[in-house]
A and B are shown apart, each in its own frame.
Chain A
Amino acid sequence: MSKMEKRFPTRISFRRGQVDMTHGSGGRAMAQLIEELFVRHFDNDLLRQGNDQALFTPPPGRLVMSTDGHVVSPLFFPGGDIGSLSVHGTINDVAMSGARPLYLSAGFILEEGFPLADLERIVSSMAAAARAAGVPVVTGDTKVVERGKGDGVFITTTGVGVVADGLEISGTNARPGDAILVSGTIGDHGVAIMSSRENLEFETAIRSDSAALHGLVADMVAAVPEIRSLRDPTRGGLAATLNEIAHQSQVGMRLSEDDIPLRAEVDAACELLGLDPLYVANEGKLVAICPADKAGPLLAAMRANPLGREAAIIGEVVEDDMGFVTMETGFGGTRIVDWLAGEQLPRIC
C-alpha cells in the first residue's frame, strides 16, 4: 500500500449493509464491493490483476463454451443456494461435451436493498463451489437495478472448457440399439426447491442434488471414450432431456420405469403434489448414451464415482422416425413420455 492513498477509508459492513445504486455506478463504492467481496472470495491470479477481461492461453484441444442464467427462488434451499447452483450449472453444461472445464465468468444483477449479508453468503458459497471444482471465476460484472425491478439477485455464469481429441459427444449421436444410463436418483432438486417454498407447507428431508459433474464425466470418458451423448436433465427433467436427444438424433427411446432410480421421499412428494418425477428438475445428474456393448463398463465407471453411485441402465435407443420416448410402466402397460407442456413449477434454477 505504501505511498498510495488508502482507497477505502472504512470497510463495507456486510453484517448490516444493503445493496444501493452506488454499488453498480462504476464509482468508488462499486470498486470497493468488487475488492472486498468478489475478489476476496473468488481470489485467483487472473481476477487479482483487476482487468476487464481474463487473459489466458488455452491448453491443446477443442474449446467449448456455455452460459446459464440463474433466477432460482428461494435463493437458499436445502442442499445449496443460487451461488453454488450457478457454478454447478455452467460447469455441467460445459462438461456434457466431455470437456474439462477451465474457467468461469459471473455476471450479477443485484436489486437495490438486497442485504449484503445474503450477498456475501451467496458469493462465499459460489467461491467454495468453484474452489472445490477447481474451476476459478476469473472475470465478472455487477449491475444494480432499482428496488422492485429485480428479485434480490440474478446470476449469469459462463464457462469455457477444453475437449480432448477423440471424443465426439453430442445429442445428435444416439443410435438405435444404444443403452441409456442415468447417474442416480431423479427429481431431488425440484422437490427440494418445492419443499422450501413457503406456500408448500410440507417438510421433507430431501436435499438438492446440486453438484459439479465434470469429475464423473472425466471418469466416464476415460473408461468409455465411445460415449455418444451426455446431458444433464435440469429443467423439464429426464423426460425433456430424452426427448431433446431423441429429436436431435431422430431416434426413439424405450425406458423401463422400474429401472429408473427414484428416492422414496421424492416419489411420495411427487405423489402428493400430483407431479411426475420424470419432469422434475435435477442439478447433479446426467444422462449418458453409449453403444450397448459398452454399457457394462460405463455403468461400472459411473458407480465407482461417488456422484454416480446409484447409476442405472434405464432403457435403450430404438429406431423410430417419430422420435417417441415410451416407457414400460411398473404396472406392465406402455405409455409415452412426452415433452413437458406448460411449466410444472417456475424458477427452479
Chain B
Amino acid sequence: MKYVDEFRQKDLARKLAADIRREADTGRQYNFMEFCGGHTHAIFRYGVQDLMPRNLRFVHGPGCPVCVLPIPRIDMAIELAERHGAILCTYGDLMRVPASKKNSLIKAKAAGADIRMIYSTQDALRIARENPEREVVFFAIGFETTTPPTAVAIKQAAAEGLANFSVFCNHVLTPAAIQHILQSPEVRDLGQVSIDGFLGPSHVSSIIGSEPYEFFAEEFQKPVVIAGFEPLDVMQSTLMLIRQVNEGRFEVENEYTRVVTPEGNEVAKDLMAEVFELRRAFEWRGLGDVPYSALKITDAYAQWDAEKRFVVTKSTGTDVKGCECPAILRGVKKPTDCKLFGTVCTPDNPQGSCMVSSEGSCAAYWSYGRFRIDRVKETAA
C-alpha cells in the first residue's frame, strides 16, 4: 500500500530500535505520554513496546474521544432519541459506550429508539433531507480533527434551510486537556505520574498546527514531539524525545512534517471559529470539569444546536463502581491495575469507556497485549 507501507517497514524499525537502545540512558527511566488513542492503538497493534528498552514506558493518555465522553452526555443523547423522538445519528464507536443504569445507545436502539450508525456528517445530512417530518440529531464527538466537518455540516444545513437537522456538540480541545493533566496534583505535587515528555497529537495538529503546544512545553518544561500515527513515526518521535530529555531540552519538535505545519490549517481553523465558541468548562471522563476545553455552537447557528432546540435533562450518571477509567485516562493507573479488567469488563461487556473504543487503553491491552500480561502474572506466581 503506497504511502502507508513506507511507514511500517521492519528493517527501518529494527534500525530505529537499535538507535533508541543505544541512546537511552540505562541509568534512568523514560516515561512518555502518548496523548492520542491513535498512538496507543499503533503501539499495541504493531507491538512497538516489544522493540523498546525496559526503562522506557508509554503512558497512555486521554486522547480517545469516545473514552473521555462522560456518562451524562451519553444519557442526554439517549434522551434525545427516546423522549424527543429524534433520529440520532452517531459514529459506530459510541454505540456500546456504557451510559447510566446499564444502558447504552445499542441497548436503547434495541428497545426502539431510532439510533443510526453513520460514517460521516454527510450521512446525517442525507437522513435529515430524506426525513423532513422527523427531527434528526447528529451526535458530534471528537477532537479538533473531527470538528471542521461538523462545522461544514452545520453551514450546509444553514445554507439549505434544513430545519429538522441539529447537532449535539461534544467537540473537545486537546491543548486544554494536556495542560490540565500537567497541572493535576498527581503530576505536579504527588509525583504519582512522572511524565518526561509527550508524543504530540498527529491529526489534531494537522488542524491546529504545532504552535499551541509551545506554551506548555515552556511552562511545564516538558518536551513535545508531534508524531504521526504510523509505527515508525511513533519510534522516530520517541527517539527525538529521548534526545531532548538527554540534552535537557524541552522544545516542541515536529516529526510529522509531511502533514503538520506550525500554523496548521487556516481554512479549518476559520471554519471552527465561525461556527463554534469555547465552553466555559466541560466534563471529561477521568479529568472532571476542564476549563475552556470544549466547543459549543455559536448563537448565530443556535437553530442547529440540539442543546438549545430540545430541553434535555442534565443527567448526574456516574461510572460503574470500581471502574478505573478515570485514573487510567489520567495515566495514574494501568488497565491491569483495575479490578474489573478482564473479569467483568471485557470488550464484549465493557463497563467503562476505555474498554469500548479500539483506541481506549483497556481495549488495546485486552485485544493486543493480554497474552503478555497473563504470562507476566504466571511468571510472578
Q: Is the CB of A332 within 8 A of B348?
A: no
Distance A200 CA – B374 CA, assembled complex (angstroms)? 39
> Of the candidates B46, B119, B348, B367, which one forms a contact with A199 in the assembled complex, judged by CB atoms under 8 Å apart?
B119
**A325 — nearest CB in chain B belongs to which residue?**
B371
Nearest residue, chain A, Cβ from B355: A341
A322 to B45, CA, bound (A): 20
Stretch at the interface among B7-15, B62-70, B313-321: B7-15
Contact B47 A335 (CB under 8 A): yes
A interface SS class: loop
Q: A199-B119, A267-B1, A341-B346 are in contact. Are A329 and B366 (CB under 8 A)?
A: no
Q: Is residue A333 contacting chain B, with contact meaning CB distance below 8 A?
A: yes
Q: Point out the residues of chain B lying under 8 angstroms from A271, CB to CB.
A: 1, 4
Residue of A nearest to B9 (CB): A331
Q: Does B347 contact A (CB under 8 A)?
A: yes
The reply to whether A326 and B346 contact each other, CB–CB distance below 8 Å, is: no
Residue among B9, B17, B47, B366 with most chain A CB within 10 A: B47
Question: Judging by beta carbons under 8 Å apart, are A341 and B347 in contact?
Answer: yes
The number of chain A residues touching the other chain, given as a range, is: 20 to 34
Most buried by B among A268, A329, A331: A331
Mask for B361-372, Cβ within 8 A of A = 1, else 0? 001001111111
Bound form: Cα–Cα A335–B13 in Å: 16
B371 touches A322 (CB 8 A): yes
A84 CA / B68 CA spacing, docked (Å): 45
Within 8 A of A (CB), among B1-32: 1, 4, 8-10, 13-14, 17
Question: Across the interface, which residues of B come within 8 angstroms of A200, CB to CB?
Answer: 119
Docked Cα-Cα span, A191 to B86, in Å, equals 31
Task: Give CA–CA (A331, B96) in the complex, Å.
Answer: 31
The CA-CA distance from A184 to B234 in the complex, in Å, is: 32
Give CA–CA (A339, B346) in the complex, Å. 11
Smallest CB gap from A336: residue in B: B371
Residues of A within 8 A of B45 (CB): 329, 335
- Compute how far the CA of A331 lies from the CA of B12 in the bound complex, rounded to whole angstroms: 9
Determine the chain B residues whose CB is within 8 A of the CB of A322 once the complex forms.
371, 374
Neighbouring A residues of B261 by C-beta, 8 Å: none
Q: In the complex, A199→B51 CA distance in Å?
A: 40
Q: B202-223 toward A: CB 8 Å interface, digit per residue (1/0)?
A: 0000000000000000000000
Q: Which residues of B contact A264 (CB under 8 A)?
A: 1
Q: Which residues of A311-337 have CB atoms within 8 Å of chain B's CB atoms?
A: 322, 324, 326, 329-336
Q: Which residues of A contact B374 (CB under 8 A)?
A: 322, 324
**Which of A199, A268, A332, A341 contacts B47 (CB under 8 A)?**
A332
Q: What are 19 A-B pairs with beta-carbon distances under 8 A?
A: A199-B118, A200-B119, A268-B4, A271-B4, A274-B358, A322-B371, A322-B374, A326-B371, A331-B8, A331-B10, A332-B51, A333-B51, A334-B372, A335-B369, A336-B368, A338-B367, A341-B346, A341-B347, A342-B348
Q: List residues of B whose CB falls within 8 A of some A CB.
A: 1, 4, 8-10, 13-14, 17, 44-51, 95-96, 118-119, 123, 231, 346-348, 358, 363, 366-372, 374
Q: Enumerate chain A interface residues (CB-CB to B < 8 A).
A: 199-200, 264, 267-268, 271, 274, 322, 324, 326, 329-336, 338-339, 341-342
